[in-house]
Amino acid sequence: MEASYQRFPTVRIRDLKDDFLKFELRDTDASIANALRRVIIAEVPTLAIDLVEIEANSSVLNDEFIAHRLGLIPLTSDKAMEMRYSRDCDECDGDGRCDYCSIEFTLSVKCTSEETLDVTSHDLQSSDSQVVPVDSIGHDPDIENFNQKKGILIVKLRKGQELKLRAIARKGIAKDHAKWSPAATVTFQYEPDIHINENLMETLSLEEKREWVDSSPTKVFEINPETQQVEVVDPEAYTYDDEVIKKAEAMGKPGLVEIYGKEDSFIFTVESTGAIKAAQMFLNAIEILRSKLDAVKLNFGSDEADEQFGDLGAHMRGGF
Amino acid sequence: SHSSTFCFNGEDHTLGNSLRFLLNKDPRVVFCGYSVPHPSENKVNVRVQTTGAPGKEVFKDALLDMVAICEHVSTTMDSAVGRFKANEQRPE
């Protein structure tokens, strides 16, 4: 293998919670960062309800409405990576309902009191204790007592109304349906590199400096009260709007500040729905990207391609 | 010089753009580009023109490079998470 000038990326984690991950990815190109972002959103497998058999439904919402809502409920999918897709499962003769490739849920609720009954994701009974609807409690300690673990609302029932159904959850990826996406949001931004021209900055009065600092919609700069100098307080708050640059030109001082995004330094923010932990989601994404590359490599130089295309196949693959 | 176009079924910009980037880094590559002929079809065409090496070899090397990057990011991420968690527990 001839040496190619590729660099190896570095990672530094800024913030890590169960459902939130913020880190810096350095020494790589935007196309790699984007590929990772795309895989996290669209190709990391999770579990979601895919088939609903309704036995009784006298609620105000119709059957398919409720089935649609059930599909969108996030389920804890830590075992999704090891599970098989239903279509690939040999245990169940293509039925797609056996224990190896699917999880069964039941819901059976009837409203008997005068008050409106909220049917929530807590009423879904799972056949596997590892795969349950994600608990939608926030992490704010003040809210905890007030909300008391209510779960995701599916439908509301009046006295006499009933909902009874069976649901099958299967493994899938968001390319097939967005309900299978484990990510709430995944974003990355170029890390900004801000240079203030100190000489030009000296020619501004304190009032002009304040005006210029305030012209930025986000708090990027600040005037140090002791030295009366303009300092960069939060470079990442910069949203690449050119407001401060336009303001500098309007004040007659073009080139007052130079801001550009470093082409190989990215700040990733990954938020998960709770189906998979944020850090685990990123690692799964890398694994998926690898398996895609392995699949391409395997098909490479295969004799089947030669048979299929004959001379064309050999030519297409770069040989003679 | 050798030139070849590879067509991937069932792939999209995720792989196309990143492989194009890695192929451009290879000094043996004269030209490299990718396109998605129509968004409704999951096909990606990757074109490689080299200074003499067979396109298949150059492409295979790019794939191996990509696998190496993925492995590296994976282990780097694991150790970074470990360090972060260790730092969190220390103040206690």
3-state secondary structure chain B: CCEEEEEEECCCHHHHHHHHHHHHHCCCEEEEEEECCCCCCCEEEEEEEECCCCHHHHHHHHHHHHHHHHHHHHHHHHHHHHHHHHHHHCCC
Contact A318 B57 (CB under 8 A): yes
Q: Read off the pLDDT of residues A180-206 as tens digits, 9 standing for 90 and up.
A: 999 999 999 998 888 888 888 888 888
CB pairs under 8 A between A and B: 128
Task: Give, in words, the CATH class of B3-89.
Answer: alpha beta
B4 touches chain A (CB under 8 A): yes
Q: Are A6 and B25 in contact (CB under 8 A)?
A: yes
Residue B71 pLDDT more than 60?
yes
Which chain A residues are closer than 8 Å to B30 by Cβ? Answer: none
Min Cα separation B70/chain A (Å): 6
Residues in chain A closer than 8 A to B58 (CB atoms): 318
Residues A21-30: pLDDT tens digits?
A: 999 999 888 8
Which one has a higher pLDDT value, A96 or A248? A248
The range of the structural domain enclosing residue A153 comes to: 46-138+148-177
The beta strand positions in A37-94, using DSSP E, are 46-57
Which B positions 57-86 lie with beta carbon below 8 A of chain A?
A: 57-74, 76-78, 80-81, 83-85
- Count of domains in chain A? 1
Beta bridge partners of B47: B5, B33
Inter-residue contact B3 to A32 (CB < 8 Å): no
User: For a pLDDT cut of 90, what percent of chain A falls above it?
Assistant: 46
For residue A5, being part of any structural domain is answered with no
Q: Is the ipTM above a cut-off of 0.85?
A: no
What mean pLDDT is predicted for residues A79-106? 83
| Share above pLDDT 70 across residues of chain A, in percent, rounded to a whole number | 88
For residues A316 and A287, the model is more confident at A287
DSSP letters, A38-49, are HHHHHTS-EEEE
Residue A5: name the closest of B60, B24, B46 by CA. Answer: B24
What six digits make up the tokens of A133? 């609807």
Least confident of A153-157, A199-203, A220-224, A310-314: A310-314
Q: Where are the domains of chain B?
A: 3-89
What is the average pLDDT across B61-75? 92
Using a CB–CB cutoff of 8 Å, tell me whether A303 touches chain B: no
Residues of A in contact with B55 (CB under 8 A): 317-318
Question: What pLDDT does residue A221 have?
Answer: 86
In chain B, residues with a C-beta closer than 8 Å to the C-beta of A279 are: 77, 81
Which carries the bigger pLDDT value, residue A115 or residue A237? A115
Looking up tokens 């704010």 gives: A140
Residues paired with A47 in a beta bridge: A171
CA distance B71 to chain A (A): 8
Would you say residue A121 has pLDDT above 90?
yes
Does the structure show a pLDDT above 50 at A313? Answer: no
CB B44 within 8 A of CB B35: yes
Beta strands A162-172; A230-232: pairing state: unpaired
Would residue A73 count as lying in a domain? Answer: yes
Give the CB-side neighbour count of residue A6, counting CA atoms within 13 A: 28
**Looking at residue A314, what is its pLDDT?**
46
* Cβ–Cβ below 8 Å for A318 and B2: yes
CATH number at residue A157: 2.170.120.12
CA distances (Å), origin A218, targets A8, A209, A225, A269, B76: 33, 16, 19, 18, 32
Strand partners, A187: A269
Question: What confidence tens digit (pLDDT) does each residue in A281-310 have?
Answer: 999 999 999 999 998 888 776 654 444 444
